[in-house]
Amino acid sequence: MDLLRQKLTLLPDKPGVYLMKDSQGQIIYVGKAKLLKNRVKSYFTGSHDGKTARLVRQITDFEYIMTDSEVEALVLECNLIKKHNPKYNILLRDDKTYPYLTITEESHPRVLVTRQIKKDSGKYYGPYPNATAAKEAARLLNRLFPFRKCRQMPSQPCLYYHLEQCLAPCAKKVSPDVYKVMRKEVSAFLKGDQSGILALLQEKMQKASEALQFERAKEYRDLIDDLKQLGEKQNITLNDFIDRDVLGYAITTDQMCIQVFYLRQGKLLARDSFIFPYYEDPEEAFISFVAQFYLERAVWPKEILLPSIESIVLSKLFPISVPQKGKKRELIQMAMTNARTTLHDQITIEVNQQTETGQALATLGELLNIPAPSRIEAFDISNTAGTHTVAGMVQFVEGKPQRRGYRKFKIQPMETLDDTAAMKQVIQRRYTRLVSENDPLPNLILVDGGKGQITAALKALKELNLAIPVAGMVKNDRHQTHGLLDQSGTQVPLTKSHPTFFLLNRIQDEVHRFAITFHRQQRAKNMTLSALDGIPGIGPKRKQCLLRHFSSLDDIRQANIEELQAAGIPQNSAAAIYEYFRTKGDAS
């Protein structure tokens, strides 16, 4: 603390960023300040509420970086949060990337949904607040406009040409001017002007009907209905066709909820909710969130509407507007109201869940004659007829899954390999490591299985001189949670309507899902590797390059030579792969 006091006296009267550290030297909080001297000192003077007090108790050191302005400090704060992931900061953990529509810059362009913005690769429209909205828009565009549909240019016209949904550039020359006109029409359509498209479709429907092409007429009628329904779904509209986001927030003593409304072409399409704890002034937490949220995005809306805030730092970075009256102000009030409601509902649900979870853990402890287990680790073995054997481990703390604690295990070769031997190996490996690294041990180990798995786990723990309680989760013939076995393999009484049964069911389902997903990944990798065995010049390293670049064997099979080269494969090897799948086929 003496070192801290000395460092506090040296803080400058300048803007900058400060990094708080714990006793292990880990950065646990990053903040920005208009005046570093005042802001950092405020943590160590006066009294704090519970949430900030918890942060301050862990601070043993700090460092700071001066900047020329508060704007620079805000940008630097976002970069450092992204780099260090401090546990007390607002973290956009889901790392959302929103989908866009793009018309590719190709000789014969396509309409695609993408989450990646690449310079000079096409014109982008969006972002769309969810993938469903983007896919629906792309589906309509591909039916309305005859852009190319095929990923690779075929040798002859496909069904889309006969449906008049493609110009068949594979078979005949298409003028660039045709695509230019189509791009212009798409742009008008995506800006909300449907009148021209609707008139064209009405005309085509009439002509098809007069020519007795009733199936074609029905297709046009369905398109007209889809377009009208798309417009009717927008119940909140500003008639200026501008893309904008509307943000509002609500707080309790330690939680903040931020609502983001997405208006595209003046129409409210969807919303997002973000709930997180905050450890600073609410307005500062809100500013930090907005900066992180938009600095991560390649494209911003034309306007971002915010409630009144004292700081003007955000307006120097983004197209911020703070309306005081009118429809825009009403939208902000609506976002604020929704934030308050969402936060209230979330807190109510959490209180109820905590009560139920507390009861479930207490009962689980009573059934097994141990204290209520706050940290549970569960294991499951997954294989196919004894091959590709793997294990998954999930961690639950206070009844909630802690995904950072999940672990995957490839079972190492043994003389005899069955589920019990695999379980023993995994338990040995897991807790040998925890002991060597001095990490906390669980209060209870749950194994997916019966007495054999329990005995295997207990043997492994005994060899490590560990006394951790073990219990087994058993399933019925339909692979559903059926009951709980104690260390002796005796089933303990538990009704299916009790919160403890629901907790065990969640844990068993989660560990099974995690283990079987890992097993399928390993099996798919091995299948892909074996399918590539017959190709000259493709060894283990190049197989791994292909697996990293392509998500499946199907993608490799369909890729052209240029796409294979993009995976790091030399041209001659890429040509060999391409020819292999088109002449010999997939040998697997």
CATH of the domain at 57: 3.40.1440.10
Same domain, 487 and 541: no
DSSP 413: P
> Strands 16-21, 27-33: parallel, antiparallel or unpaired by DSSP?
antiparallel
- Distance between CA atoms of residues 90 and 78, nearest Å: 10
Same domain, 249 and 157: no
Same domain, 379 and 399: yes
> pLDDT of 42-56, one tens digit each?
888 877 777 778 888
Question: 71 lies in a domain?
Answer: yes
- What percent of the chain has pLDDT above 90? 21
Same domain, 406 and 481: yes
> φ and ψ at 445, to 5 degrees?
-110, 125
Is the pLDDT confidence value at 528 over 60?
A: no
Same domain, 537 and 518: no
Same domain, 303 and 204: no
Residue 290's CATH number = 3.30.420
> pLDDT of 92-143, one tens digit each?
654 455 677 788 888 888 888 887 766 666 777 766 656 776 777 788 788 7
Residue 466's CATH number = 3.30.420.340
Q: 335 Cβ partners below 8 Å, 6+ apart?
A: 246, 247, 248, 259, 260, 261, 271
- pLDDT mean across residues, the chain: 82
Question: 356 lies in a domain?
Answer: no
Residue 560's CATH number = 1.10.150
Domain count of the fold of the chain: 5
Question: 359 lies in a domain?
Answer: no
Same domain, 517 and 548: no
Same domain, 397 and 498: yes
Neighbours of 442 (CB within 10 A): 21
DSSP 264: E
Q: Comparing C-alpha atoms, which of 473, 470, 469 is closest to residue 450?
A: 473
- Distance between CA atoms of residues 337 and 199, nearest Å: 40
- Distance between CA atoms of residues 294 and 303, nearest Å: 12
Q: pLDDT: is 397 or 192 the higher one?
A: 397
Structure tokens at 253: 């003593």
Question: 365 lies in a domain?
Answer: no
Question: 92 lies in a domain?
Answer: no
- Residue range 319-342: average pLDDT? 89
Same domain, 383 and 503: yes
Q: Which three-class secondary structure state does DSSP give residue 385?
A: coil
DSSP 405: G
Single-letter code of the amino acid located at 120: D
- Residue range 273-294: average pLDDT? 88
Residue that terminates a domain, selected from 298, 328, 344? 344
Q: How confident is the model at residue 372 (pLDDT cuts 50, 70, 90)?
A: very high
DSSP states of 36-67: HHHHHHHTTSS---HHHHHHHHH--EEEEEE-
Same domain, 445 and 544: no
pLDDT of residue 384: 63
CA angle 572, 576, 579 (to 5 degrees): 135
Q: Comparing C-alpha atoms, which of 220, 114, 243, 98 is closest to residue 163?
A: 220
pLDDT of residue 166: 87
Query: Are residues 73 and 32 in contact, defined by beta-carbon separation less than 8 angstroms?
Result: yes
The residue count of the chain comes to 588
Question: 56 lies in a domain?
Answer: yes
Same domain, 195 and 298: no
pLDDT of residue 95: 45
pTM of the entire structure? 0.51
Same domain, 205 and 331: no
Question: 145 lies in a domain?
Answer: yes
Q: Which three-class secondary structure state does DSSP give residue 534?
A: coil
Residue that terminates a domain, selected from 499, 523, 547? 523
Residue 122 domain boundaries: 115-232
Is the pLDDT confidence value at 536 over 80?
A: no
Residue that terminates a domain, selected from 523, 544, 563? 523
Chain centroid, CA 550 distance in Å: 20
Question: 270 lies in a domain?
Answer: yes
Least trusted range by pLDDT, from 8-22, 379-393, 426-440, 536-550: 536-550
- What percent of the chain has pLDDT above 70? 86
